[in-house]
Structure 1
Amino acid sequence: MKEVERLRADHGFIGHPKAIGTLSIMQLCNGVGSSVVNAILIYFLIKQSPVGLGFSDSDASQLMSLFSTLMLLCGIVGSYVADRILGPRTSLRCARLASLVGYTMLALPFLGVYGYVGSQIVLCLGSMVAGRSTEALASKMYRKGDERSTAAFSMLYMLSNVAGIFAPIIVGTIADVFGYYASFAVAAVFALVALGVYGLTEKKFFGPVGLKPDDPVPPAKRNAFVLRLVLIIVVVLAVIGVLFAAGVLSVKTFSNYVSTAAIFIPVVYFIYIFKSKKTSRVEARRLLGLIPLFLCNIFAMWVWTQCISILAVYTDKGVNRMFLGFEITPAAFQTWGCILAVSFGALTTLLWTKLGDRQPKAPTKLGLGTLLWAAGPAFMAIPFALNQGGKDSPLWLLIFWVLIMLGEAITSSAGYAAAAEVAPVAFTTQMMTVWSMSQSTGAALNTLSVNFYHEGGEVPYFLTIGGTTALLGVLVLVFSRKISGVMTGAKE
């Protein structure tokens, strides 16, 4: 215990425990890897062999949305594994090793499509053991009430976005000059650096912190529990592999099945918490107020996944990317989104701090933010409607990013705060998990909606997304006072 207190009292990393320095480097490296996947993977999928894998635009878009959905769902399982089986330290080590293996598989040209499939499986498995281990470890490095913890989480968030600012430009250029496999090799190198830094500093900087799970499975049941979990994973992967080999499953049908499941999983989880004997009727009534806000976050994620699917293809094929005689890589447009995320995030934080008790309630924030999210795809219908066969100005995309990132800055923190506010006492942590499921549901919704997309049908496609999202935002704004009453009135 004395060693833990000594580590927590340390100020060796810019006023924080040295362990936060380790986590910061790992977060930066992990951010680079994630940025590589988000920025160039879809282009690798649609380029013809030997440059890429030669998938159709629609299949590539579905695969990107499917991967996003699976990573989010696996992350939920990962939080459970870290809490009950491995502990955050071991979970984080396994996840970073999985990242190294996954990116390395993508970087090996001779593996082809098998390398791609294998990498996606390994990365999902990494997410399945990690969950929120980085955040959990960071929180354990501070005593309760230590004001440095807020700054530490802000630092981790900023470093992730810093990686998102620079990585797409760099790896996009490398992909253009040396090929996509070289870009994936860069991600593998950063994953190796993260794993190396963690391995060299883990014992010294973390001591006994995070070695054991917070809510461990009883020792007598542990081995059977782990064996059962591993067997389930192996059987599921084997069955899926056989069905694909037999032609029973295709990319489209598999994506649709997973997406449908991802939509219903949070509904079942929510009902479980609502009906639980551990949830009082007062708490249950307050939970009802979260439902429209939950829907807002689903639709926001639906809009966001356009950026790594349909609009990513449009950036590559339909946008004039020449600037001062140089061609900007399509991956570089992801950088603009990260710059806006950091800028708008800082501005809204300052605004809410300045307003204090006078700031809008969560339903008002979610309603307004959802309207901004809706404005993005609705706005993108304009260049498609006006296009006469040439390439469009990049300004359309830049304005699209401004609209949705402003919406993200308003809705993100407000959503988590609302979920925390209405969480039943017995389900405080799990309520955060339920809220995060809205992201996987939104990604799943995009995987399904891509089925209705076809080249030349962009205007109705984006107007439908923008229109339905806007309708939800308007309804939440109109009934915001009533929703707030449901969420807070039961406290009386």
Structure 2
Amino acid sequence: MSEGGKTFFGHPWGLATLFGTEMWERFSWYGLRAILATFMAASPAVGGLGMTEETAQAVVGVYGALIYLVALPGGWVADRILGARRSVFWGGFVIMLGHISMAVPVRGPAFVALGLLLIIVGTGLLKPNISVMVGKLYRDDEDARRDSGFSLFYLGINLGAFFAPIVVGWLAADNRWHLGFGAAAVGMALGLLQYVLGRENLRGVGDRPGEPLTPGERTRVLRLMLLCAALAALALGVWAASGTFTLDGFTLVVTVIILAVPIVYFSYVMYGPHGLSDDERSRMKAYIWLFVAAAIFWMIYDLAPSKLLFFAQNNTDLTLFGVQIQAATTQAFNPLFIMIFVPFFAALWLKLGNRVSTPQKFAFALIMIGLSFVVMSVAAKLAESGRVSVWWLVLVYLIQVFGELSLSPVGLSVTTKLAPQAFKGQMLGVWFIAVSVGDAVGGQTGRLSRVMPDTAYYLVLAAMAIVAGIALLLFVRRLREMMAEHHVPSVPPIR
């Protein structure tokens, strides 16, 4: 729904409200992410949790995986219970409480675990629904204007992602962990304040659920939720009482569950009684290939806040243009390169048109992410003799962004294009499950570091990505036939 009067760069002023809310929410998310792994691995003597780096990597991986996985139920809650506007508010409020819990200066993991759980739940409510609200600011016949509005919205995401590691990393320096976590809480509070003050600018967008539950359905849903929570608590209690519970074991179990989600879902879509046509079944088979490729990509790409962060801390001379920086600051390289190169890649894909297919873009992305870890292997080898220049990480992130801008922008588009008619709405959430799977498995790859040197670790993951990319290239013609692909529009990436 468009509006007259005051505008935000030619767009409805409600976009300014959502732009600021999302920018500050991403500030809180990327700020926490920039210091979480190093906090967990730091000695309790300096306020950390004393985990091994491998365990911290697994926890960060599962945490990131759950953040993307809960987008599915979060969208459902908005559609059936709260509506998008209230879902975003309560999601932001719960996120803020999570960061406050993280900031409590008490030793031990209790408040940390509570904080991460609250952030996961809150992000599930906020993240998918604020994007829905952006789209609803425009009329159905304003496709071009809506695309432009989303581009501005994504700029807010990357601005928050860029400044967060710099600010939070500086505040958390010298083991001031909880000051850094507090900054993330303040960021989310500022986003909430802007959201509340700008409510009138939204003009009713997202006020009501699209398909509210009946009273009977509400009762059944509440019972099911309580039953699931009780069963989960019982299972954890029994596991803990057995004396065999470990954090490594817990992250492995969660990873297996996350891996099972797409397997069950795709089996349900392909073999359930949905009346899929032969063309729909063929497109879904092609999509599964792309889903696996995306999961492999994110498995490596999202090691930035764990494995690469530890490399920055332990093996890098953190001096950039003569200025000393924090290890967390290296997490700002990625969003900076995204903001620089998004216009270039958007123009490139427009010029190439359908001469470059979706499988080819995915293959290029896999090869790029693989090459970035070849570079990391070289850097790790040089680091055996002493700290290496931080420019090695700059190069790694630059190569990775070339890969991301070849895969992420077309992911949602191709998901919509290949989805069977009966699953059009659900399939948008499935794309984020690929990120979830990649994050969870990537966290578990830290176990390889216990049996091989880092040079080999990086090369093993690089080989997986490059081989997968070559496999996609070999089957491009077959995949295009299965997809009936002619042209897939390119949109800015959303993380």
For 1:221, the aligned partner's letter is: E
Aligned to 2:470: 474
Report the CA distance shift for 1:19/1:490 in structure 2 as closer, same or farther (over 3 A): closer
Kindly indicate whether residue 251 of structure 2 is the aligned counterpart of residue 255 of structure 1: yes
CA–CA separation in structure 1 for the residues paired with 2:440 and 2:448: 14
SS in 2 for 1:209: coil
CA–CA separation in structure 2 for the residues paired with 1:274 and 1:346: 37
**What's the CA shift for 1:75?**
1.8
**What's the CA shift for 1:477?**
0.8
SS in 2 for 1:309: helix
Matches within 5 A, 1:282-321: 282-321=279-318
SS in 1 for 2:481: helix
Deviations 1:258-277 (A, max 9, x none): 11111121121112122242
CA–CA separation in structure 2 for the residues paired with 1:220 and 1:8: 38
Kindly indicate whether residue 164 of structure 2 is the aligned counterpart of residue 167 of structure 1: yes
CA–CA separation in structure 2 for the residues paired with 1:324 and 1:443: 32
Matches within 5 A, 1:13-412: 13-49=8-44, 50-110=46-106, 112-146=108-142, 147-176=144-173, 179-202=176-199, 204-233=200-229, 235-237=231-233, 239-240=235-236, 243-244=239-240, 247-276=243-272, 277-323=274-320, 326-357=323-354, 359-412=355-408
CA–CA separation in structure 1 for the residues paired with 2:464 and 2:117: 33
TM-score (norm 2): 0.92
Aligned to 2:490: none
Report the CA distance shift for 1:260/1:392 in structure 2 as closer, same or farther (over 3 A): same
Superposition RMSD on alpha carbons, in Å? 2.2
For 1:199, the aligned partner's letter is: V
Q: Does structure 1 conserve the Cα–Cα contact (< 8 Å) formed by 2:61 and 2:444?
A: no
Kindly, what percent of the aligned residue pairs are identical? Answer: 25
Range 364-373 or range 318-327, more displaced: 318-327
SS in 2 for 1:270: helix
Deviations 1:436-467 (A, max 9, x none): 21111111211222222238611221111110
Q: Does structure 1 conserve the Cα–Cα contact (< 8 Å) formed by 2:169 and 2:329?
A: yes
Report the CA distance shift for 1:224/1:436 in structure 2 as closer, same or farther (over 3 A): same
TM-score (norm 1): 0.93
Deviations 1:81-116 (A, max 9, x none): 222222111211111011110010111102642111
Structure 1: which 5+ residue stretches go unaligned? none
Report the CA distance shift for 1:120/1:388 in structure 2 as closer, same or farther (over 3 A): closer
Range 402-411 or range 376-385, more displaced: 376-385
Report the CA distance shift for 1:337/1:67 in structure 2 as closer, same or farther (over 3 A): same
Q: Provide the aligned length of Structure 1 versus Structure 2.
A: 484
**What's the CA shift for 1:228?**
2.6
Q: Does structure 1 conserve the Cα–Cα contact (< 8 Å) formed by 2:319 and 2:390?
A: no
Q: Does structure 1 conserve the Cα–Cα contact (< 8 Å) formed by 2:299 and 2:438?
A: yes
Deviations 1:457-484 (A, max 9, x none): 1122111111011111001012111110
Deviations 1:22-69 (A, max 9, x none): 111101111110111221111111122343222221111111111011
CA–CA separation in structure 1 for the residues paired with 2:246 and 2:4: 55
SS in 2 for 1:217: coil
Kindly indicate whether residue 21 of structure 2 is the aligned counterpart of residue 12 of structure 1: no
CA–CA separation in structure 1 for the residues paired with 2:341 and 2:451: 33
Q: Does structure 1 conserve the Cα–Cα contact (< 8 Å) formed by 2:320 and 2:390?
A: no
Q: Does structure 2 conserve the Cα–Cα contact (< 8 Å) formed by 1:105 and 1:111?
A: no
Aligned to 1:417: 413
For 1:122, the aligned partner's letter is: L
**What's the CA shift for 1:235?**
4.5
SS in 1 for 2:8: coil
CA–CA separation in structure 2 for the residues paired with 1:130 and 1:228: 23
For 2:299, the aligned partner's letter is: W
CA–CA separation in structure 2 for the residues paired with 1:321 and 1:245: 45
CA–CA separation in structure 2 for the residues paired with 1:211 and 1:158: 25
Aligned to 1:449: 445
Report the CA distance shift for 1:455/1:339 in structure 2 as closer, same or farther (over 3 A): farther
CA–CA separation in structure 2 for the residues paired with 1:229 and 1:205: 35
Structure 2: which 5+ residue stretches go unaligned? 488-495
